[in-house]
Structure 1
Amino acid sequence: MRITVDHRTTYRFSVPQGRVTQLLRLTPSGTDGQAVASWGIHVDCDARMRHGRDGFGNRTTMLYVDGPIHGIEIEVSGEVLTNGSDGVLHGSVEPLPPAVFLRSTPLTEAGGALAGFAADAVASVSDAVERMHVLNVAFHKHFTLDRGRPVSGRSAAEAFESKSATLRDFAQMFTAGARGLGVPARYVSGYSSACFIGDTPPAPHGWAEVFIEGLGWVAFDPCTGLSADDAYVRVAVALDSAGAAPVAGSRLGEGHEELDVDLHVGRDSAQD
């Protein structure tokens, strides 16, 4: 499948800022399942950019802008060719052993209710792969999709108390539930229009990967209840959503900021 991405993030500041420093996780890496045909990051002001990789193997760009800064627009555009693999990941950069992804963070603490839900969901299933499919479907059926902007700092345990879940909530709850079952799991950020139908525009997406002995990392999306397929562009992984956030950073200055995100994800299966 050929997937095109046009992603604009715009910040507007109430007073000019002296400096803006951003860590961008906006560039996908090539794997056996995705080939990056073209990709670029463009900024609407004079900026310095330094490219590298973080400790999880994600491609990163450090963005430095000197003030006075009234606003900044970051545009990402590119084309990725994908192929189906039943959610199994091959050819990715893996600097860390899977056991690292058994670690909890404040955002992925399961809490008693979520951990109990996960254990009950897979209690009658013994096969390792099937257990994760059952868990994925259980979260998908338990919550309705909240298409609004995620609540900053909301943990998996807090999200589990609600009747609806954002894309971020779904992925973090599944990650927490899998770790509670002793399965290494991690948060994945990227692009897909899988959960957005009709006139609702797609948003930056989040799903999860779990490590299964003898098979490797396998992608699951509790938003759909299915494994992530060739309609997904995988960009970054981390222990939680904060570690895989597309944009993170700081600014030097007073006042407040307004954030606007405009994203279009197109796909063409004719290239398969």
Structure 2
Amino acid sequence: MKLRISHETTYGYDQPIRNLVQSLRLTPSIFEGQKTHDWRIEIPGGIRGPGFRDGAGDWVEGWTLRGPAEEVSVRISGHVETRDTAGVLRGHREMIHPLAYLRSTHATAPDKALREAAMSLETTGDHLELAHGLSALIAAAIAFRPGVTETHTTAAEAFALGQGVCQDHAHALITVARLRELPARYVSGYLHSTADGQAHEAAHAWAEIHVGNLGWVGFDAANRCCPDERYVRLGSGLDASDAAPIRGVAMGTGAERLAIRVQVEEMEQ
């Protein structure tokens, strides 16, 4: 599948900022399931700094902008060729050992309810079967409902609420997988459409679980599937904060506003 992606994040400030420093993880991953063409990252008025590939295999680049500025836009455009690998992350070069992803964070810290849920599954000992079972468990426990959780909602809070968005599904799945001694991580990216073909107009997130000889396998509990050709992978981390596509610091005293626009369209074959 050939996908055209346009993504713009705009920050507005009620008082002009003096300077801005950002670290961007907005370049699609390199692996057998996707190939990137004509990818552009632009910050009008900004200065592109050095870039590097981190231990997780993600491309990270720095940007700075000198103020005063009342608005800053981060613009991404390009197209990606994708193919279905049944969720398996083949050909992705990284140096971090999978066992590092057993470490819990504030967002993925388990409580009693998550511990009981994780241990409730009985399996034959097959790790892939267990991973699929855990993903189905979270999909059933958390209904997809935008607007009921926030950026800082934890896995335990979303699980108790029984509602949330893709970030909450990913955090909860990561938590129960780690409780069963399966390394798991958070993945940020894009989704062309949901399983029923409806347009998906926002950036997306899912989990990857390390499964024996298969390596990393993606699981999207929010859509009850493994990533296929509709998905574009950007980067990963221990949780949503660690895998954030944009991280940075603005120097100023005013309040910040955020607007995001994402379009993922299929190109003519």
Pick the TM interval, shorter chain: over 0.9
The whole-number CA distance in structure 2 between the counterparts of 1:46 and 1:225 is 40
The whole-number CA distance in structure 2 between the counterparts of 1:48 and 1:231 is 30
How far the C-alpha of 1:213 sits from its partner, in A, is: 1.1
User: Bigger CA drift: 80-89 or 123-132?
Assistant: 123-132
Q: Is contact 2:192-2:199 (8 Å) kept?
A: no
Match of 1:189 in 2: 188
Structure 1 pair 50–210 and aligned structure 2 pair: CA distance change class (3 A): same
Q: Paired residues, what number?
A: 269
Does 1:11 find its partner at 2:6?
no
Match of 1:241 in 2: 240
Match of 2:110 in 1: 110
Match of 1:146 in 2: 145
The whole-number CA distance in structure 1 between the counterparts of 2:47 and 2:16 is 16
The whole-number CA distance in structure 1 between the counterparts of 2:29 and 2:178 is 25
- Amino acid in the other structure paired with 2:176: G
Q: Is contact 1:22-1:248 (8 Å) kept?
A: yes
How far the C-alpha of 1:29 sits from its partner, in A, is: 2.3
- Amino acid in the other structure paired with 2:158: A
- TM-score, normalised by the number of residues in structure 1: 0.93
Match of 2:44 in 1: 44
> What are the ranges of 5 or more consecutive residues in structure 1 without an aligned counterpart?
none
Q: Is contact 2:141-2:159 (8 Å) kept?
A: no
1:122-172, Cα deviation, whole Å (9 max, x unpaired): 224432111111111111122211233851322211221112111101001
- TM-score, normalised by the number of residues in structure 2: 0.94
- Amino acid in the other structure paired with 1:152: T
The whole-number CA distance in structure 1 between the counterparts of 2:127 and 2:200 is 35
The whole-number CA distance in structure 2 between the counterparts of 1:138 and 1:118 is 9
- Amino acid in the other structure paired with 1:257: E
The whole-number CA distance in structure 2 between the counterparts of 1:135 and 1:176 is 10
Match of 2:208 in 1: 209
1:188-230, Cα deviation, whole Å (9 max, x unpaired): 0001134487876521111011111111111100011111111
The whole-number CA distance in structure 1 between the counterparts of 2:94 and 2:145 is 32
> What are the ranges of 5 or more consecutive residues in structure 2 without an aligned counterpart?
none
The whole-number CA distance in structure 2 between the counterparts of 1:198 and 1:267 is 12
1:48-68, Cα deviation, whole Å (9 max, x unpaired): 333222332211121100111
The whole-number CA distance in structure 2 between the counterparts of 1:118 and 1:33 is 30
The whole-number CA distance in structure 2 between the counterparts of 1:199 and 1:232 is 14
- Amino acid in the other structure paired with 2:2: R
Match of 2:93 in 1: 93
Match of 1:27 in 2: 27
Q: Is contact 1:4-1:78 (8 Å) kept?
A: yes
Q: Is contact 2:167-2:206 (8 Å) kept?
A: yes
Does 1:267 find its partner at 2:266?
yes
Q: Name the Cα RMSD after superposition.
A: 1.8
